[in-house]
C-alpha cells in the first residue's frame, strides 16, 4: 500500500501544479492575445483534467480484490490512460483548427515580453515536475503516472515553442510565428495522445511483459531445482503496478507430491524476490 499512497500523492501534486500553471498562462494569453500562450494554457488545463483523473483512478486501482474483481482493480490505471488520450487529442485538434484560422487572419500580440516571462517560469516548474513524476512512475511501476509525466514533457515543449515564438515576434515583428507555434504544439499534443492510447490499450488487452522480463523469469525457472525439467504454458501480463506470471513446471515423474509443491512455492518466492512482493505468481507442476 505504500506504493499506492505514493502514486496518489504524486497525482495530487501534479494536479495542483498544473492548475497554477494553467491559470497563469491563460491570463497572460488573454491579455497579450497570444494564441501560442493560450495553446500552452490549454495544454496545462488538459494536464489538470488528466492529473485529476489519475488521482481518482489511482485510488480505484488501490482497492483490494473483492467478490466481483478477484484480480483487483489495477487496470483502472490503463482505463485512465485511455480517457486521458481522448481528452488530449480533442484539445490538440481544437488548437490545430484555431492555429490555421489565426494564420489565415493574423492578429497582433500585445506585450509579448509578458508571454516570454510566463513561458520561462512555467518551463522551470515543468522540468522539476517531470523529474519527480518519472521517478515516482519508475519506482511504483505506474502507467498512469508515466502518462502524467508525458503530459508535462509536452508542457515543456509547449513552453519552449510559445516562448521562442513570442521572443521572435517581440524582436522581429513576424505575426505568423504565433499561430505556427500553436499548430506545432497541437501536432505534438495529438502525437502524445496516440502514444498514450497505444500503451494503455496494450495493458487492457493483456499484452505480455517486456521480452527481457519474460526471458529473465524463464531462465530462472528452467533449471530451478534438480527435479525440474523445464516449463510450459508460460504467460505474463500487467495490471497497474502488479505483474502476473503463470506457468507449469515440468517435474521429474518420480518426485513426490510434497516435493513438487515445495519446488513450485520456492520458484514463486524467487520470482517475487526478483520482481517485488506484489507480483502474482500462479504455478503448478506437471510430471514428465
261-287 residue pLDDT tens: 888 898 888 888 888 777 888 888 888
Q: Which residue has the cell 497572460?
A: 28
pLDDT digits (tens, 9 = 90+) for 116-167: 888 888 888 888 988 898 888 888 877 667 777 876 777 777 777 777 877 8
Residue 237 sits at φ, ψ, to 5 deg, of -165, 175
Residue 194 has what pLDDT? 87
CA distance 163 to 60: 38
Give 18's pLDDT tier (boundaries 50, 70, 90): confident
pLDDT band at 42 (very low <50, low <70, confident <90, very high): confident
| pLDDT, tens digit (0-9, with 9 covering 90-100), for 217-248 | 888 888 778 888 888 889 888 776 678 898 98
Checking if the pLDDT of 110 tops 80, the result is: no
| pLDDT confidence of residue 71 | 66
Burial of 225 (0-12, 13-18, 19+ CB in 10 A): middle
In this prediction, what percent of the chain has a pLDDT beyond 70? 88
Domains and CATH numbers, the chain: 2-204 (1.20.1510.10), 211-287 (3.30.70.1350)
What's the pLDDT band for 61 if we cut at 50, 70, 90?
A: low
CB proximity list for 213: less than 8 A, separation 6 or greater: 236, 243, 275
3 state SS of 152: helix
Exposure string (b/e) for 10-49, b if CB count within 10 Å is 16 or more? bbebbbebbbebbebbbebbeebbbbbbbbbbbbbbbbbb
Amino acid at each position: 500500500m505504500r506504493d499506492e499512497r505514493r502514486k496518489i500523492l504524486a497525482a495530487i501534486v501534479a494536479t495542483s501544479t498544473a492548475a497554477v500553471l494553467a491559470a497563469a498562462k491563460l491570463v497572460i494569453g488573454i491579455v497579450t492575445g497570444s494564441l501560442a500562450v493560450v495553446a500552452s494554457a490549454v495544454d496545462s488545463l488538459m494536464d489538470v483534467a488528466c492529473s485529476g483523473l489519475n488521482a481518482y483512478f489511482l485510488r480505484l486501482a488501490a482497492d483490494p480484490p473483492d467478490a466481483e474483481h478477484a484480480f483487483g482493480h489495477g487496470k483502472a490505471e490503463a482505463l485512465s490512460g485511455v480517457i486521458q488520450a481522448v481528452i488530449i487529442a480533442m484539445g490538440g485538434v481544437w488548437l490545430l483548427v484555431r492555429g490555421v484560422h489565426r494564420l489565415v487572419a493574423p492578429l497582433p500580440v500585445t506585450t509579448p515580453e509578458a508571454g516570454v516571462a510566463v513561458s520561462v517560469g512555467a518551463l522551470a516548474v515543468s522540468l522539476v515536475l517531470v523529474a519527480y513524476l518519472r521517478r515516482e512512475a519508475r519506482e511504483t511501476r505506474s502507467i498512469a503516472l508515466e502518462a502524467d509525466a508525458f503530459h508535462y514533457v509536452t508542457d515543456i515543449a509547449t513552453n519552449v515553442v510559445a516562448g521562442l515564438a513570442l521572443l521572435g515576434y517581440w524582436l522581429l515583428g513576424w505575426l505568423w510565428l504565433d499561430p505556427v507555434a500553436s499548430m506545432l504544439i497541437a501536432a505534438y499534443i495529438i502525437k502524445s495522445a496516440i502514444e498514450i492510447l497505444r500503451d494503455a490499450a496494450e495493458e487492457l488487452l493483456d499484452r505480455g511483459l517486456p521480452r527481457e522480463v519474460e526471458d529473465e523469469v524463464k531462465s530462472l525457472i528452467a533449471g530451478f531445482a534438480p527435479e525440474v525439467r523445464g516449463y510450459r504454458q508460460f504467460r505474463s501480463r500487467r495490471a497497474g503496478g502488479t505483474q502476473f506470471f503463470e506457468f507449469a513446471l515440468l517435474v521429474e515423474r518420480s518426485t513426490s507430491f510434497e516435493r513438487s509443491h515445495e519446488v513450485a512455492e520456492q520458484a514463486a518466492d524467487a520470482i517475487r524476490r526478483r520482481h517485488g512482493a506484489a507480483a502474482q505468481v500462479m504455478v503448478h507442476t506437471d510430471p514428465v
